[in-house]
């Protein structure tokens, strides 16, 4: 999807910032200025020679060092969330992927992509998909807010396919109503599907992963884990809780269960073009970029196939939202209000 018109004036600035933070660009440029200036001057237009000053050299040195530190920090972060183990140990011949809510939307796309790659897939949902699916996608009618239904279906899955090694907590709902307008039943259901179900799923399938010290748990959160605008309060609360669930689970796997090879991944997508929010993005005042669902499902599948833990924020480049609460209050309020005025002030999705 093309960028928002509001973002176009900032594209050159972002490109410059990206270049300056890349050591593979600043390093060779700095080397050429310091050790082979005659060659550099012969390449550059004469009009640019005046900009090669001691101040530019100092700036390039700073950006080069900062860029290297960023690269090292990112590498250390990836190793840390994988408990300093680089071997993912993913073997698609032995893996069984279980996805909740895989009869439609992102879940269905993931199921089909995993199936295309030769993996066995189990779908826990309230109803089957409305299309013909490959034979290696297996549907079980399950209300994931019911621990009894999960346990019953789990017994059937183990008997027919074995133990799931990948569990993707994908099922989710949202109503897009204000705190006072949303019915109590919908608030309860939103928390039950978006949060409580995660506990029931993990309590059912995590023990086997711990025993084998192998597996992967994927939690689908949201950009609203970091920012809660008007009319999405209960949804944002559940996604913030999903982030806490992921972080706490990761900690328990290492510190309590001694299962460092059980991987955990959290996904924070922005608005996705799915039926869940169709009422929103067809609203005339809508001006926020939309992610295509294939982009989100593809990123999750790729992460699982890598056999490594991860933190996925989509669209790429939106990671700065993680630091929103470190910004001044006026900036935080402006960001939340901008989102609030995007959402139509009427009945839900």
Catalytic residue numbers read 235, 239
Nearest CA-CA partner of 227 in 129, 333, 96, 316: 333
Buried b (16+ CB within 10 A) or exposed e, 227-245: bbbebbbbbbbbbbbbbeb
What is the phi-psi region of residue 89: left when phi exceeds 0, alpha when psi lies from -120 to 50, beta otherwise? left
- The CB density around residue 38, as the number of other CB atoms within 10 Å, is 7
- The CB density around residue 179, as the number of other CB atoms within 10 Å, is 10
Largest CA-CA distance found in the chain, in angstroms, rounded:
76
Measured in whole angstroms, the distance separating CA 6 from the mean position of its chain's CA atoms is: 24
Strands 310-314 and 262-269: parallel
List the 166-169 sheet strands across, edge first: 137-141, 120-125, 96-100, 166-169, 215-220, 262-269, 310-314
Buried b (16+ CB within 10 A) or exposed e, 63-100: bbeebeeeeeeeeeeeeebbeeeeebebeeeebbbbbb
Give the helix ranges, DSSP H, for the chain.
11-20, 23-35, 37-43, 54-81, 105-116, 147-160, 184-191, 197-212, 233-255, 278-281, 293-306, 329-342
């Amino acid at each position: 999807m093309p960028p928002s018109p509001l973002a176009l004036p900032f594209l050159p600035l972002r490109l410059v910032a990206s270049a300056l933070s890349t050591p593979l660009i600043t390093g060779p440029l700095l080397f050429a200025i310091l050790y082979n200036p005659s060659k550099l001057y012969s390449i550059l237009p004469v009009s640019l020679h005046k900009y090669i000053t001691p101040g530019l050299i100092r700036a390039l040195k700073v950006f080069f060092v900062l860029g290297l530190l960023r690269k090292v920090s990112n590498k250390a972060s990836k190793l840390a969330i994988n408990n300093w183990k680089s071997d993912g140990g993913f073997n698609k011949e032995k893996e069984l992927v279980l996805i909740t809510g895989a009869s439609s939307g992102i879940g269905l796309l993931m199921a089909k992509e995993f199936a295309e790659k030769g993996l066995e897939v189990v779908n826990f949902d309230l109803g089957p998909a409305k299309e013909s699916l490959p034979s290696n996608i297996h549907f079980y009618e399950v209300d994931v807010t019911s621990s009894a239904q999960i346990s019953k279906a789990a017994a059937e899955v183990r008997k027919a396919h074995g133990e799931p090694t990948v569990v993707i907590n994908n099922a989710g709902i949202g109503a897009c109503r204000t705190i006072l307008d949303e019915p109590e039943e919908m608030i309860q259901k939103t928390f039950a599907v978006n949060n409580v179900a995660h506990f029931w799923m993990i309590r059912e399938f995590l023990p086997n992963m711990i025993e084998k010290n192998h597996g992967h748990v994927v939690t689908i959160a949201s950009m609203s884990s970091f920012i809660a605008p008007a009319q999405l309060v209960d949804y944002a609360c559940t996604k913030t809780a999903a982030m806490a669930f992921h972080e706490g689970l990761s900690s328990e796997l290492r510190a309590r269960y001694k299962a460092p090879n059980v991987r955990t991944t959290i996904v924070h997508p922005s608005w996705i073009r799915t039926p869940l929010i169709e009422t929103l993005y067809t609203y005339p005042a809508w001006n926020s970029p939309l992610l295509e669902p294939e982009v989100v499902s593809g990123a999750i599948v790729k992460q699982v196939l890598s056999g490594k833990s991860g933190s996925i924020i989509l669209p790429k480049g939106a990671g700065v939202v993680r630091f929103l609460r470190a910004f001044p209050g006026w900036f935080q309020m402006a960001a939340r209000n901008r989102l609030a005025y995007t959402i139509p002030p009427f009945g839900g999705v």
